[in-house]
Each structure stands twice: as C-alpha cells, then as structure tokens.
Structure 1
Amino acid sequence: MTNLRFTSALAALALSGTLLAAPSAHAADKISIIVGGMEKQIYLPPVLCERLGFFKEQGLDVELINSRAGVEAENELLAGAVQGVVGFYDHTVDLQAKGKSIVSIVQFSAAPGEVEMLSAKDGSIKTPADLKGKTLGVTGLGSSTDFLTQYIVTRAGLKPGEFTLLPVGAGNTFIAAIKQDQIQAGMTTEPTVGQLLKTGAATVMVDLRTPDSTKAALGGPYPAASFYVQSTWLETHKDEAQKLANALVETLHWIHDHSAEEIADKMPKDYYVGDRALYVKGLTDGKAMFTADGRMPADGPETVLKVLSSFSRNLKGKTVDLSKTFTTTYVDAARTAAK
C-alpha cells in the first residue's frame, strides 16, 4: 500500500468513526479508481459522478484516490492496487507497445484540456521553436503532458537533447516552478492556467483546451481524459464495468445539459483554489472538451498514435492494434438503457 492509499484509508476510517474491519464481502465489492489529479478540471467527471450520487444509484461502492500524475496512476493499476484509472487515453497506446493490455471503456474528452504556458520572465521566446535549450515543465516523466510537450517541440524542429523536461507536478508546485524560473515553459491545466494568467506570471503558447484548437495544434481530435482498466479485469467484471459506464455516461449527459456555474456548485469548494469566479471561467472556456456520450471521437486513436509515433522510442518498430485500446460496448449499452 502506498502512502497515498494508506492516508486515504485512514481518512475513510476516521469518517466512519471506527477502526473495526469491514466485512470481507463488502471490501471485495469496493472498486478503487485512481485519478491523475482530482482537482484538475479535465478529470472532474468521476468526482462529479460521486457527488451527484450516480455511482450509488448503480449499487456501486467506489473509492476515488488522488494521485499527482497519470503515470503514477498507471503504475498503481499495473501493480493491481486499483481496479481502474481516470487518466489520458494515450497511456493505453503506449502500454500496448510495452506488452500491456489496457482498455478505455469511457471517453470523457475529445481534447487534452492542457495548455503549454510560457513564462513571462523571458521575452525572447515567441514560438515552440524558441524553446531550444530551455527547461520545460511536465507533471511527470512518462505522463501525457510529457508526450504532448515532446510532440509540440519536435514538430517545431527541436531534437532530443535540445530541451530538458522537468517533472513539477501541477497546481502550486507548477506555479512555483514558473515564478522561480525553474522552467521557462510548461504544460498544465485548469485551474492552474487561470491562476497564472490572472497574475501575469505566464501566457498561453499552445492551447489544447477545445477540440478546434487541438485539431489546429495536433492535426486532429486527441481523445484525452478517459476511464481505463486492465483487459484481464474487464473480462471477469463485465457487470461492474457496465454499471460504471452507466454512472459515468449519465454524468457526461449532466455536464452537457448544465452550465459551468451549476457544475461548479457541485464540486468541492477547495477545488476553486480561493477563486470561484476564475474556476467557473476556466470551466466555461474548456467545457467543450467533454464528450456528451462517452464515445471515442472518430479518428481520435489515429491522432494519438501519430503523435506518439513521432518521438516515442517505445513505438519504434512496433505495431499497435488500436481496436484493442478502447471499446464502445459499455457506453453504447449505457445510452440504450438511458433511452
């Protein structure tokens, strides 16, 4: 058990007011899902789903666990510590090239919701080509921000070794890295983007918050935030997978039918980082990234494979079967049930 999971377990016990073990049958029914940063707006669907009570309506006992980056969540899944991950779809492609079988069963977004932010300290940088010799912030090495950053700079003509990637996390640690000039640019998401823009500490270099801006930057839709599981788990837990899909698709419908203000009202207040208006603005600007039905966007997997293949050594000489990286079976059944 990692320190994060141990802390989560203690918190749960404290809330229950007892240290007595729960019945084994109940423990076996619990589904643990790790999220690559629950406070990030790109990953709000599972938190919103829990707060709307949709998991419970499906008879599910779901535990959401926070992590700092998608690569950490991925490692927890592969170790068998959790049953599912809320992270970027591109991990399913990357892991297949490494001989692992991971499948996305609900696609939350058709755009990364990420932004390459440029520090205001260096006025000489105008385009990604100017990042030669600079240090670029990512949430973690091997994370989706790592993948996207490498694509953006290599597409601009830079070669490996001409830039440095530094894992700085998100939120306050990312902001501190920008302000202290540890990084000259970096990729992050809302609400961190809004905080940096408000203070003038950074500006937008590459915007991946909407499907249209993503298509312009990456050449097509880039399916990002998703719910994925190990194929071996899915084969023996189809009923649980369907119930999870039902709850999450219902949440996506709810997001589609409600305003950013209404969505913000349902989220934990500490996610606002002390500025609710800024949180709502970020959500308003990026709400279009979310799918309305949980389905994989057409040509999305192909864009992801193209992006990763442009720089990833893991994919060199490998054949990836994209049909095995996602399934629409469960979201389609959820839509049918809803109708």
Structure 2
Amino acid sequence: AMRAGQIDAISNLDPVITLLQRSGDLKIVSDTRIVSEAEKVFGGPMPAACLYCPQPFIDKNPNTVQAMANAIVRANKWIQKAGAGDIIKVVPESYLLGDRAVYIDGFLAAQKALSPDGLFPTKGPETAFRALGSVDAAIAKAKLDLSAVYTNSFAQKANAKYPKG
C-alpha cells in the first residue's frame, strides 16, 4: 500500500521499515527505534516487546513465567554484547525474508532500544498508559493502579540468577 501510494504514513516494525526506507518508498520522519526519538513521540520511555500474561496464568504457572523471563533477560544481555554476525547466525532463515542485510540493518537500527536487562523503565508503564489513552477515550478516563498491571519482579529474579546473561 505504501509503494502504491495508497497511504501517506505508516507506523510499523522491521524489517518492513528498513525495506521501505532502502527502496526509497518511505521517508522516516520520526524513528522510534532511537530511544530519544521514542521519548519525544511518547513523552517518556515506551516499553514494548514484553511478556503479557493474565494474572490467573501467572498465579497458576509461576515457574513457567519465570523461565520465560529468564530466557528474555538472558537473550537481552546476549544481544547487547553480540554483533550483527552473531545475531544473523541464530535467526531462523524464514525471518530473514531472503535478505540478510535488511535484517541486519533493522536489527542495528533497533538494538539500542532493547532493554539491556529486561526491566521496564520506571516511567514506562505511565508512558504506555498515556499513549493508549490518547487513542481510546475509555482508557484515558480509567483509574488504574499501574503497579497492579505490570511487574519487574520476574526480570529482577532473572538478573539475580544470571548476572552475566
């Protein structure tokens, strides 16, 4: 749709953004893969790519949730130290869309935005709630105890268990 001129703006993820940028079909106005740009757009740190679980699942399966958090924290720590060549070796071929260079460029563009330790930034939940409220009036009006809908406790335990990843 972007290439055909059917849309004027897009918010998407890689590799789509890198593909469209490389082909000249897209001009990036604000790149939220860059932390400072994301903070300008969202008015604070914006958490993304995190684990979402209903509380009953967490209550029933705390070991599974902890194992998932451990894996993500360890992966985040590895990614911080890894080079593009290291990353490309472990990514399934089907994710590369037939173009390793596009995947590497997209990864390098987003690498610094990844949490180095799997923790939500302190103001992250507030930023996310405000962003959701900006597009949904019901959310904007809601009174929500943000500490009841997110936790860093699993990531903190993972960091204690795997300080080096």
What TM-score does the superposition give when structure 1 sets the normalisation length? 0.46
User: Could you tell me which of 173, 176, 187 is aligned with 2:11?
Assistant: 187
Aligned CA RMSD, in angstroms, stands at 1.5
Q: Which residue of 2 aligns with 1:233?
A: 57
Counterparts of residues 312-331 of structure 1 (less than 5 Å) = 312-331=136-155
Q: Which amino acid aligns with 1:184?
A: D
Cα separation, 1, equivalents of 2:48 and 2:111: 14
Cα separation, 1, equivalents of 2:87 and 2:18: 17
Q: Which residue of 2 aligns with 1:115?
A: none
Q: Which amino acid aligns with 2:161?
A: A
Q: Which amino acid aligns with 1:209?
A: R
Deviation at 1:310, TM superposition (A): 2.7
Counterparts of residues 291-306 of structure 1 (less than 5 Å) = 291-306=115-130
Residue by residue over 1:38-83, the C-alpha shift from the partner in whole angstroms, topping out at 9 and shown as x without a partner, is xxxxxxxxxxxxxxxxxxxxxxxxxxxxxxxxxxxxxxxxxxxxxx
Q: Which residue of 1 aligns with 2:66?
A: 242
Q: Which residue of 2 aligns with 1:220?
A: 44
Distance change >3 Å, CA 320–CA 262, structure 1 → 2: same
Q: Percent identity?
A: 29
Secondary structure of residue in 2 paired with 1:208: coil
Q: Which residue of 2 aligns with 1:197?
A: 21
Indicate if the aligned counterparts of 1:309 and 1:315 stay in contact, CA closer than 8 A.
yes
Deviation at 1:276, TM superposition (A): 1.2
List runs of 5+ in structure 1 lacking aligned partners: 1-176
Indicate if the aligned counterparts of 1:260 and 1:287 stay in contact, CA closer than 8 A.
no
Distance change >3 Å, CA 262–CA 217, structure 1 → 2: same
Q: Does 1:283 align with 2:110?
A: no
Cα separation, 2, equivalents of 1:186 and 1:285: 17
Cα separation, 2, equivalents of 1:277 and 1:234: 38
Cα separation, 1, equivalents of 2:159 and 2:4: 48
Deviation at 1:226, TM superposition (A): 0.4
Cα separation, 2, equivalents of 1:252 and 1:316: 32
Deviation at 1:190, TM superposition (A): 1.0
User: Could you tell me which of 80, 84, 96 is aligned with 1:272?
Assistant: 96
Deviation at 1:264, TM superposition (A): 1.6
Counterparts of residues 19-38 of structure 1 (less than 5 Å) = none
Indicate if the aligned counterparts of 2:132 and 2:140 stay in contact, CA closer than 8 A.
no
Secondary structure of residue in 2 paired with 1:228: coil
What TM-score does the superposition give when structure 2 sets the normalisation length? 0.91
**Structure with greater proportional helix content:** 2
Q: Does 1:251 align with 2:98?
A: no
> What count of residue pairs does the alignment treat as equivalent?
163
Residue by residue over 1:114-140, the C-alpha shift from the partner in whole angstroms, topping out at 9 and shown as x without a partner, is xxxxxxxxxxxxxxxxxxxxxxxxxxx
Relative contact order higher in (CA < 8 Å, ≥ 6 apart): 2
User: Could you tell me which of 33, 39, 60 is aligned with 1:209?
Assistant: 33
Deviation at 1:215, TM superposition (A): 1.2
List runs of 5+ in structure 2 lacking aligned partners: none
User: Could you tell me which of 141, 158, 164 is aligned with 1:334?
Assistant: 158
Q: Which residue of 2 aligns with 1:129?
A: none
Q: Which amino acid aligns with 1:297?
A: P
